[in-house]
Amino acid sequence: MRCAGLGDGVAMNTTGLEDRMTIVALAKAGHTDSDIAERSGWIVSTVRKWRRREARQGSKGLVSRMGRPATGAMSTVSPDIKGTLRAWREAHPG
């Protein structure tokens, strides 16, 4: 299995967008969660998670939510200031 349970000493993998799209495509083709899990190498709970998210949010729900949120202090800064800050960070990476 690609996605092992916590505590068994195996690192957990994350699904990529392609994996999620495959899960949804197989579901739309009429495959069961168990069949999709067997075909894709993911555990059934992972298959169910992405099927449910796609059902609730559509294809936008398949995009990863990892990383910084889209909103916050820097989301309200003008593009010019963001560019200046980015240039400073690149010039002074330390």
On average, the pLDDT of the chain sits at 84
pLDDT at 2: 56
pLDDT tens across 45-69, in order? 999 999 999 999 999 999 877 776 6
- Could you count the other beta carbons within 10 Å of the beta carbon of residue 54? 19
Can you say whether residue 10 is alpha, beta or left, with left for phi > 0 and alpha for psi between -120 and 50 degrees? beta
Written as six digits, the tokens of 92 are: 């002074």
Residues 6 or more apart from 21 whose CB is under 8 A from it? 62
Report the amino acid identity of residue 12. M
CA–CA separation, 38 and 41 (whole Å): 5
CA–CA separation, 44 and 50 (whole Å): 10
CA–CA separation, 30 and 36 (whole Å): 10
**Could you tell me what percent of the chain has a pLDDT over 70?**
81
Handedness of CA 32, 35, 39, 42 (dihedral sign): positive
Which of 2-6, 10-14, 69-73, 81-85 is modeled with the greatest confidence?
A: 81-85
For the chain, what are the domain ranges? Answer: 17-67
Residue 4 has pLDDT above 90, yes or no: no
